[in-house]
Every structure is written in structure tokens, then in C-alpha cells.
Structure 1
Amino acid sequence: MISILIPYRNRDPERIKILFRSLEGQTHKNFKVYFIDYGSSKINSEIVKELCLDYSFVHYQYHYTRHQPWNKSRTLNSVIRYLDTEYCFVADVDIIFHPEFLEIANNLTKTGQTTYFQVGYLSSSESRKVKAFSEYSDYRSSTNEATGLSLFPVAQLKDLNGFDEFYHFWGGEDTDMHIRLKNAGNEVEYYDEKLLLLHQWHKSFQKLENNESIADLQLSGILPLNHQHLKNAISNKATKVNISGWGEIMGREDFQLLENSEVSMEITNEKRQVEDVLYGMLPVKNEGIIKISFKPDLFENSKKYKVKRMLGKKVPEYYTLREVKDMILLHLISFYRNVPYTIKVDNGRDIEVAIKFS
């Protein structure tokens, strides 16, 4: 049996219906789908859960990570760590499967290697049409540089502690996994004998990042950072990652504890205050819950401040609220991703961070 892993958060339910219908029409029926909801909103999670119940081959899981940034690696690892099937296929919610995909994939499991597949990227107009796989025509075919849709031997993934959970947001985790598999002596092959997967159109991550509001849990410049981490994996011949806690997800109890805890301290966006919290206070905290509210300093926009600054007098230095958000997010994904935490951003007004220490 092949397990199909589908990581998800707050995407259009209509594309999920198209995905499930394509799986329902498979010629090979011995498979199971793990639909992993990494913290969708309450409304979206209820809609998607109901949709999953319509298909007997789908197992829905919800993670209480609504107020954490997207982490595809940890989403996948949360299932990979406990999988008992020999192989798994990593998909996404935008895929349309050829009816013979699982039949061919099942034959490929006999090789003992990882196989990744050519994909047809549908145009925006073609994606809006619902028809048989063979009838789609307006698409762009991927090359062997696109590594996101892969059939993996589960034991090999477990040996390397799964996908690298440093990669947050988008970019790099799939190629990184291929590189580490090869570094560990495993084979990775590209399949393009027949187009078996189509990808429904959506806006690129780069466009989403460029158009973000401060309220979005996005980190400015994350794509080049992920790319550099990938380059280091290549140069260092990396294999095993996630030394502790891989695939572990914050549970409902910790989520509610963080939600219900009182604010421990309020600080402004003054540079020295922000830096003291990130570099002075948090590194020595080792127990209990801390919840911090970061608010703009009203003095920064006062007439008195502007006059003193114009006259060259000493005044406080400030980060923009976007810069504060980026600094906090980078700290969370770098140093606190293995402990329960939440971050909420009220556009232009407030950033609230809660962390639970052992």
C-alpha cells in the first residue's frame, strides 16, 4: 500500500474536490490518503473535514498551529514518523492524478528508490475547467529541477529524521530531502515517461510575499534564506537533520494554555526594548509561559519627537512593526520551533507572542 500525504492550510475547497475525484478514479485502489491540516481557520477546517468524510480512503488530521507560520516539513513529518506503509507519496492540494498514477507508482516501489515525477502546470483558464485528465491541454511541463512530488521509501525518510524543519514558509525542503537521500547512499530517479500529474494554477509564493500585509505570517526574504540553507546542505553533504523532536506538533492543550494566558509584559517598537527581549530575556527563560505584546510607541509619531529629531537631539531609535515581526518570526523558527508557541499580528497595531518553556 502507498500512503499519500497532502499538507494543507486554508486553500480553496474546490481544488480539493478535484484532487479527491482524481484519486477516486484510480485503477489501483490499494492506497490511503493522509490529509494533514496544519492550522487552518475554524471555518475552513470544518468545511474541509466534512469534505474528507465523503471519501473513505481519506484520513483527516488537524494540527493546532493556526498561529504559527507554515511549515510543510513538520506537517509531513508528523505523519511520516508513524507511518507503517513501505512507501509514501508527497502530493499537494493542487494536484490532479492520472487514473493510472497509483498503478504505475506501485510498480515503481519495486525499485527501492525515490522517484519524482514530471508535472503539467495548468494555465489559469485551464485550471477553471473540470474534465477528464486526458482532455487537459493548456499546460507547461516541468523539468527534472522540480522535485516537489515524490514517491519515497518510508524507511529511508525515517533514517534521516524526515524533512528538515528549518524550512518554513516555502522553498527548498523537497530538494533538500533528495540531496540528503543521495548523500546517504540512496537512489533518486526522475520519471517522465508519461505525464501522470497535473497542477492546478495558483499565484506564486513570490507574488504573495510581495503583496503581504504586516498581518500575514510571512517573513521578508525567506526565499533566499531557505536557498542558502539548501546550499549549505549540499556543501556540507548533510544527511540526518532534526536532532530532537522531529514531527512533533503542539497539541490542543498547549494551544489553549497559550491562548488563555495573560500578557506578561508590554513593550514598544523601540530598538533597545525589542533587542533586549530577543537577545537578553528569551535565551535565559527555561520554564513557564511568557506572553509579550509589542506595540508601536506613540512618542515616535508625536510632534515633540519629530522636532527633537529635526534639531539633532538624542531620541529613541525604532524598528518598524514589520521589522519587529520579521525579527520575531526568524527567532521563533530558528530557536523555538520545538516548543509550543503562537504569534498573532494585528495589522499596524500590535504583535503578540506566547511561548511555553518546559
Structure 2
Amino acid sequence: MNKSISLLFAYRDRDHSRVFHSMKSLEKQTDKDFHVIFVDYGSSEKNSQTILNTLSEFNFVDYHYVAHPGLLWNKSKAFNYGIWKSKSDYIITADIDLIFHPEFVASAKRLAKPNNYTVFSYAYLQKEETTSDISNLKFSDLKPSHTGYITGSGLYPKPYLEKIHGFDEFYHFYGSEDEDLFIRLENAGLYKKEEERNMLAHQWHPRYPFEENNELSVQPKVSNIRRINLRHYQIARERKKVIPDNQEKWGVCYSKEDLNALLSPDVEYDLSNLSALVDHFINEELPSYKNKVVSVTFRKDKDQKSLKFFLRKMLKQNYQPLISLKEINDKILKKIIFEYRHHNYLYKIENDLRSIKFIIDLRNSSKN
């Protein structure tokens, strides 16, 4: 029986050279009967054009630009979109950093079974090797620093991915979305297999900054997100979930055109970082604007560094507590993750780190 396979990649604003190396290794597959679905989830216009030019060299790749740069990174949404686009019997979720053994696709087809899913071992390449031109090297010539199993790539029968409504779209940034998928697949009746042969090599890159960082940066980050994601996974495991909560519809993404709907808001706020203003707006005023597009800009209070402000604070005369823009950042991002993740929104931290803009369309949600 012929088994059709799609390899699914999720991407956003990464180095195009590592994507090129990955595609070159797929070009060398002994079994050419496969398809790549490459989902670009909200890269900048410049990077999306660069990666599109890179991928145009490979006739087995279908490129899809979804979301827009104002949305937070969400690998689950990107993969779910790709699952819907695939017409194959089996899907392999892949990392853009991977170099594939020439026999990988042929091996995957032998491993593909309707009642199990398979995870793969990675060979981790060294920095010096990754920064060289590795696309012309034989897979056997690669010299990894170590090997090990990782949750980032798997081989799945597509009907089961559809049965469990794909990846849980609660997970933002990085962490636990793959483990969550595994336990829900097993709750739905699949068995887990581990491929012992080393068929994948992982290109070196700096580790994602998982450690706690209390500093604001242009790239959105939220404090404690790994533990929040881990707790969500633990709940799914304890309750033996098959389908994620609040995910009746899945695989739906916003587009560049949806960004235009945010550029003419019905309501606009410009607020300082006074704690009372921030908390009241986020928890009371914003939810009241049903069926509106709401824009808010948070700025550092102009008097924050003045002598008058300092004296008021010391004497506690008419002093209103302030919170940092980093604290505001965390409040908004957690609000998005817990309540507004299915809405169209724009979140942007200005380059000078002195203001944050948040625009959200409360008229409807792609998931309602």
C-alpha cells in the first residue's frame, strides 16, 4: 500500500541559510514521493520575501504565509494550519534546523502505521560545523557532539491528528506543546514508538533564553511562560484530555489582510504606567468594548523621574504607585494567552522600550 507523507515546517523570522540546508537534504532523498508544507507564521515582510526566494528553488515545497507580525509566536497554530492543508495519509512535524538522512523519507514510510506515532533521535551538530557549508556534506560525514530524543519532530497518522483537533493552541512561545500532543494521542488510542536509528541531524543554534528575564525587550517575552505551559500540560495529562478546551475549531489563522482591520480602531487609549489605570483598563474597560476594535498605548509616566514625583513618593502625598513596562507587558501577554488567543490583535513594543501598543478586534474571533 502506497503511503503519502507531508513534512510540516513552522517558521518565523529565522536565518534562511539553515532552511536552505534543510531543504537541500530533502532534495537528496532516495524516495522522492513526499511533500513539504512550509508555514510562515507572521514573519516580517523582508524575511518572508527572503525565505520565499530560498524555497522557490525546491519544487516539492508549498509555502504558506499566515498570521501577521503583530501576533505572538504560536507553533501550535502554525502546525494546525499545515495539518489542514495536507492531503497526505501521514504527517511529519519537522524543525527547520534539521538535516535529513537520504533514507529518511523511505524509512518513515516503513515506520508509518495507522495505530502508532513515532518520535526520532537527533544528532546535535557542533557550532563550527553548522556555520560551514554543510549542504554539500554527506550525512555520514557530519560529526555531532551528542545524540538524544527530542519532542520536536514526530510521524503521525493524519486521521488521529484530526480526531484530537491538532496541537493545543494555548501554548505560546516555546514549551510543552509536543508533550501535550503525545499524551492526547495516546488517550485517543495511539501507541508511541521510538526510532533508534539516527536519521536526523540538528543544526547548532544558541539556546532559546528560557531563564527568567525581568527586562523588557523588543521581542515579546512573558515571565514564567515555561511553567505556565508546563502546568497546562499537567492538567491535560491529569484529566486525560483528548481534545483541548476552547478549541472546537482549529487550524484557522489570521492573515496579512486581517492586520488592516486593526489600523482604524473604534476606541483609542493613551495611558501612563500608573498601576490603577493599567489594572482597571485591562480587567474592566477592555472587556466592556464588545464588538469594537480597541487600541491602547501604555507609556512611562512623564513625571516619573522628576524631583516633584520623588518627593511625593517619599512623603506619600497624592502618590500613585507605578508599575514597570515589563510588568505591563506580562499582564497583557497573559491576558492574550488566557483569554484573547483566538482574537485578531497587534502587540508591539517600541524600539526605545518606552511604550507598548496593543490593538485588539473584539468584534469576533476566528474560533467563535
TM category, shorter: over 0.9
Alignment correspondent of 1:290: 294
Alignment correspondent of 1:118: 121
Alignment correspondent of 1:13: 16
Q: Report deviation, 1:211.
A: 9.2
Alignment correspondent of 2:147: 141
Alignment correspondent of 1:196: 199
Counterpart Cα distance in 1 of 2:128 and 2:266: 49
The structure whose residues are more often helix, as a share, is: 1
Q: Report deviation, 1:203.
A: 1.2
CA contact (8 A) 2:267 2:292 kept: no
Alignment correspondent of 2:304: 300
Q: Report deviation, 1:216.
A: 1.2
Alignment correspondent of 1:63: 66
TM-score (ref. length: structure 1)? 0.95
Alignment correspondent of 1:182: 186
Secondary structure at the counterpart of residue 258 of structure 1: coil
Which of 30, 37, 40 in structure 1 is aligned with 2:40?
A: 37
Distance 1:38 1:170, change over 3 A: same
Q: Report deviation, 1:262.
A: 7.2
Counterpart Cα distance in 2 of 1:264 and 1:291: 5
Provide the alpha-carbon RMSD of the alignment. 1.7
Q: Report deviation, 1:314.
A: 4.0
1:327 aligns with 2:326: no
Which of 46, 55, 61 in structure 1 is aligned with 2:49?
A: 46
Counterpart Cα distance in 2 of 1:261 and 1:286: 13
Which of 309, 315, 318 in structure 1 is aligned with 2:322?
A: 318
Q: Report deviation, 1:92.
A: 1.3
Deviations 1:84-143 (A, max 9, x none): 211000001100000000000011113531101011111212222312111012321113
Alignment correspondent of 1:348: 353
Q: Report deviation, 1:253.
A: 2.5
Q: What is the letter of the counterpart of residue 147 of structure 2? A: S
Secondary structure at the counterpart of residue 221 of structure 2: coil
Q: Report deviation, 1:36.
A: 0.6
Secondary structure at the counterpart of residue 259 of structure 2: helix
Unpaired segments of 5 or more residues in structure 1?
none
Q: Report deviation, 1:311.
A: 2.1
Counterpart Cα distance in 1 of 2:113 and 2:210: 40
Alignment correspondent of 2:268: 264
Counterpart Cα distance in 2 of 1:154 and 1:341: 30
Deviations 1:13-41 (A, max 9, x none): 11011001000000111111011111111
Alignment correspondent of 1:221: 224
Alignment correspondent of 2:171: 167
Distance 1:284 1:8, change over 3 A: same
Q: What is the letter of the counterpart of residue 108 of structure 1? A: L
Counterpart Cα distance in 2 of 1:78 and 1:181: 18
Q: Report deviation, 1:353.
A: 0.7
CA contact (8 A) 2:80 2:251 kept: yes
Give aligned pairs, total: 355
Counterpart Cα distance in 2 of 1:209 and 1:65: 27
CA contact (8 A) 1:3 1:31 kept: yes
Q: Mean Cα displacement is larger for which, 214-223 or 89-98? A: 214-223
Counterpart Cα distance in 2 of 1:2 and 1:59: 14
Counterpart Cα distance in 2 of 1:220 and 1:65: 23
Q: Report deviation, 1:263.
A: 6.5
Distance 1:111 1:254, change over 3 A: closer
Unpaired segments of 5 or more residues in structure 2?
364-368
Q: What is the letter of the counterpart of residue 178 of structure 2? A: D
Which of 90, 94, 98 in structure 1 is aligned with 2:97?
A: 94
Alignment correspondent of 1:156: 160
CA contact (8 A) 1:4 1:89 kept: yes
CA contact (8 A) 1:68 1:217 kept: no
CA contact (8 A) 2:99 2:201 kept: yes
Counterpart Cα distance in 2 of 1:255 and 1:349: 23
Deviations 1:293-351 (A, max 9, x none): 11111122221110111123341111100110111011112111111111111142211
Distance 1:324 1:213, change over 3 A: closer
Alignment correspondent of 1:106: 109
CA contact (8 A) 2:222 2:330 kept: yes
Which of 272, 277, 283 in structure 2 is aligned with 1:279?
A: 283
Counterpart Cα distance in 2 of 1:337 and 1:104: 38
Q: Report deviation, 1:268.
A: 1.1
Deviations 1:41-60 (A, max 9, x none): 11111010011111100000
Secondary structure at the counterpart of residue 300 of structure 1: coil
Q: Report deviation, 1:260.
A: 4.6
Secondary structure at the counterpart of residue 151 of structure 2: coil
Q: Mean Cα displacement is larger for which, 333-342 or 260-269? A: 260-269
Distance 1:100 1:120, change over 3 A: same
State, as a whole percentage, how many aligned pairs show the same letter.
34
Distance 1:8 1:293, change over 3 A: same
Secondary structure at the counterpart of residue 206 of structure 1: coil
Alignment correspondent of 1:22: 25
CA contact (8 A) 2:214 2:326 kept: no
